[in-house]
Structure 1
Amino acid sequence: MTVVFGTKGADGRALAHPLLERGARLLWGWERPLLGRSPRGKPFFLGVPDRWLSLSHSRGYALCALSDDGPVGVDIEVVRPHRPGVPDFALTREEAACFDGTWEDFTRLWTLKESWCKMTDLPLYPPRKAAVPKDCPQRSYEGADWRAAICCRGKPPEEIRWLGPEGWDSSLRES
């Protein structure tokens, strides 16, 4: 099973690891899982080869994907305008062919690309060479000012499980 947990606050980066700890406790009953990093920086659970994670943050948002189905990648991005040439630089021909020209759609395509690279631990740059295979289990999510995506081995979750950061302390005890 794969689950995506999300939260929103003042600083998404500061919320990412507390969200991971809370999600791992809710899903598997773990307290403070130990993490390692691949040579490219992909986080993994030390000593637990049959569980996978992916983290993402953008402005005030944080996501954490946890899975026992296989490797997983998740990405969230706040929708914002970019320089006009960014889509030409970043999108493959196939992605460009379905791009509708809006920053919302660019962000959707970008989050899929980044989640694929996180799942596979492949480089994102140059982005035009990072193509998400059509047969990869994936799902896109959207909010008023953000887009997110997951790539995984099993069935992608239908929705993000949003958790509030209110009352979190350094130990993340459930109240």
Structure 2
Amino acid sequence: MSRRLTPYPPGHSAIDFSAAFAAALQRGDGACVARRTHPVVAVLCDLSVWRPWSADAHALIDAPERARVDRLRDAADREERALAYALHRFLLGAWLREAPAQVPLYRDEAGRPRLSGMHAHVCTSLSHPRGFAAFALSDAGSVGIDLEPVAHAGAMEEIARLATHADEREALAHLDDADRADALLAIWVRKEAYLKAEGVGLQRPPSTFAAPAGVPLPATEVAAGLEVRMLDAGTGHKAAIALPVGSDVQVVWWWPPASP
């Protein structure tokens, strides 16, 4: 999303993470998370505006999350990943009405974020390209979300045959280079979202199925099946969400205090 950000006032980072998050909950559509006004919510974040709380974020995530963060070589990547994990915990805490530290979040054998115990029915997903993060929260069943920079569109041709089904390749053949690159990236985010919702990731080759927007797809955990929808992520990104067929979804951009 392309937005002009205002500078933070002096001492802004002295506002602790909890206070900043609580203030963000009251902004615009953000209240839908705490009030659970929709069965599925997609939350998009520009991590640069949350950077004043990066030290707090690292302290708030749990040991497995810190281990995943610490494995990253680049310091900026570690900072952003910690922010993404902390924001995920805070969002889930607001959704579940639990303290972030008490959110029973873990990764299953496929690496999919899951909740345990009395909250096991709640489904969640996240995506964290450099500088941004996207989260999905669902009371309706399995969910998956993917967010990719449009700058990646130019590189999609290199993996087009691995990423596309024969039906998709036939449709792409009629497009010029620019439209083809754009369509390839849209196909990629839809398939990533769907495979995340299914909990299999790239263990299922993307070339073995088509994932058109708004068409019911088979699902292992949702009787009605899943559908994939494109999300409005601004001019800089492509985003898609996979969710149970017919589910109502709210899309929110998440801004801390002092951001526009």
TM-score, scaled to structure 1:
0.82
How far the C-alpha of 1:166 sits from its partner, in A, is: 5.0
**Which structure has greater helix proportion?**
2
Structure 2 residue aligned with 1:140, among 213, 216, 230? 230
For 2:161, which of 71, 88, 93 is the aligned residue?
88
1:120 offset after TM fit, Å?
0.6
Distance 1:116 1:108 in 2: 12
Deviates more, 1:111-120 or 1:4-13: 4-13
* Offset, 1:87: 1.2
Stretch of structure 1 that moved more, 11-20 or 48-57? 11-20
Task: Give 1:25 deviation, angstroms.
Answer: 3.4
Moved over 6 A (4+): none
Deviation at 1:26, TM superposition (A): 3.4
Q: CA deviation at 1:37?
A: 1.5
| Match runs of 1:95-114 below 5 Å | 95-99=168-172, 100=175, 101-114=179-192
Residue segments in structure 2 that go unaligned for 5+ positions in a row: 1-38, 49-76, 217-225
Instruction: Check if 1:160 corresponds to 2:247.
Output: no
Deviations along 1:112-156, whole A, 9 cap, x unmatched?
000110001124243212543731322102421110000111515
Matches within 5 A, 1:61-72: 61-72=132-143
Match of residue 38 from structure 1: 108
> Which of 1 and 2 has greater Rg?
2
Aligned counterpart for 2:199 among listed residues 115, 121, 136:
121
Q: In the alignment, is the contact (CA less than 8 A) between 2:192 and 2:201 conserved in 1?
A: no
Distance 1:139 1:71 in 2: 14
CA distance 1:132–1:30, change in 2 (3 Å): farther
Q: Which moved further from structure 2: 127-136 or 81-90?
A: 127-136
Partner in structure 2 of residue 57 of structure 1 = 128
Size of the alignment, in residue pairs? Answer: 166
The alpha-carbon distance between structure 1 residues 57 and 165, as it changes in their structure 2 partners (threshold 3 A), is farther
Alignment check: 8 A CA contact 1:15 1:62 kept: no
RMSD: 2.3
Which secondary structure state, in structure 1, belongs to the residue aligned with residue 98 of structure 2?
A: coil
User: In structure 1, how many angstroms separate the alpha carbons of the residues matched to 2:45 and 2:90?
Assistant: 11
- Once residues 206 and 127 of structure 2 are traced to their aligned partners in structure 1, the CA distance between those partners, rounded to angstroms, is 18
Alignment correspondent of 1:173: none
Matching residue of 2:58: none
